[in-house]
Amino acid sequence: MKNSSINQKKINEIVDDEVIIKQFFERDERAIVNIEQKYGKYCYSIAFRILLNEKDTEECINDTWLKVWDSIPPIIPEILSAFIGKITRNQAINKYKYENASKRVNSRIEKTLDELNECEILLNNNVSEEMDRKELENSINKYLEKLPKQKRQIFVRRYFYLDEIKEIADRFNLKESAVKVLLHRMRKKLKSYLENEGYEIY
């Protein structure tokens, strides 16, 4: 009974996103405690799928909290969970690349990143990298919004969560070959869409 009361207290102590964002803007360090409590497991699962190592994942999560602290303000996230998840993913991929820079690694991560290289973007030197990245994200989001729900989910599972082809096939009750074809077509259409938006693809 006592443990049940403690667990209920923890649930009740989960802080709303609006409050957490306000704490960041006020430079209140409780914001870090609150996002760790609310989104720690979520971020850990994202990072661990990429790094497959507890120590590296924990370091990545700590780097994520610092990055969020440095980003809010000035950014006001529309959806805090998505904002933090994206930072976690980027931190994990950067760490993965750094740790394996001198190795020839044949893994699911490398394969996924190679697929994304088909839509590599040349940033315009006349525009700040941060602005260009934001515009690029908006363009990709617009492309994804036009996709049927299942295709959009498949794209996100592969290139955000870095799910393996078999995991995606099982999740959506599809053949692995069908998933590969769908992803290939979506990458080609995304590349064409971005070129029409004025991005230089190589």
Q: How many Cα atoms occupy the beta-carbon half-sphere of 99 within 13 Å?
A: 17
pTM above 0.75, yes or no: no
What pLDDT is attached to residue 45?
92
Residue 6's pLDDT is 38
Quick: pLDDT tens for 40-57: 999 999 999 888 889 999
pLDDT, block means (10 residues), the chain with 202 residues: 41 80 96 95 92 93 96 93 92 86 60 69 45 74 92 91 91 95 93 82 60
Q: State the Cα–Cα distance between residues 143 and 182, nearest whole angstrom.
A: 15
Architecture of domain 1-105: Orthogonal Bundle (1.10)
Place of tokens 């590969």: 180
**How far, in Å, CA of 186 to CA of 12, rounded?**
42
Whether domain 106-202 has CATH 3.40.640.10: the reply is no
The chain-wide mean pLDDT, for the chain, equals 83
The predicted-structure confidence for 120-151, as pLDDT tens digits, reads as follows 554 444 444 555 667 777 888 889 999 999 99
Can you give the residue ranges of every domain in the chain?
1-105, 106-202
State the pLDDT at residue 119: 64
Scanning the structure block, which residue is given the tokens 């699911």? Answer: 108
Closest by CA to 96, choosing from 59, 134, 149, is 59
